[in-house]
Amino acid sequence: MAFKFEELRVWDISIGLTAEVNELIKTFPTDERFVLSSQIQRAADSVALNIAEGSTGQSNAEFKKFLGYSIRSAIEVVSCLYLGKRRKIINDADFLRLYNSYETLIVKIQALRNSIS
């Protein structure tokens, strides 16, 4: 593996979750295509992208900053899940599955950020 982020479990998990979010938004109504579906996909992608960008040979402080951005993006995904649930376009099972996955991911990213000196 050529890049540091490829070895990071949090990056791998976040890539998997972007695929799950992408599958979920395929079920959204057409009128949400450029609203909630676009927002949740960008936020989900941003989690993985910030982990990757922050890991690229920069200082530890810079990496920690980008991990913080990825946490914020993950929290944005969770907020989008709530919006989708309230709008009745995300069912309870999908909401709980993704909510729990992002909660776990956030804890793992926080642990990685805290382990960096």
* Cα dihedral 98/99/102/106 (nearest 10): -170
Flag whether pLDDT at 76 surpasses 70.
Answer: yes
Residue 1 has, within 13 A of its CA and on its CB side, a CA count of 7
* pLDDT tens-place string over residues 27-38: 999 998 889 999
Greatest CA separation found in the chain? 46
Distance separating alpha carbons of residues 78 and 72, to the nearest angstrom: 10
Q: pLDDT-based confidence at 1, cuts 50/70/90?
A: low
pLDDT band at 64 (very low <50, low <70, confident <90, very high): very high
Enter the tokens of residue 58.
Answer: 């920069």
Architecture of the domain spanning 4-115: Up-down Bundle (1.20)
Average pLDDT, the chain: 95
Q: Is the pLDDT of residue 48 over 90?
A: yes
- Cα(91)–Cα(73) distance, integer angstroms: 22
Q: In this structure, are residues 102 and 78 in contact, taking their beta carbons and an 8 Å threshold?
A: yes
Give the pLDDT score at 57.
73
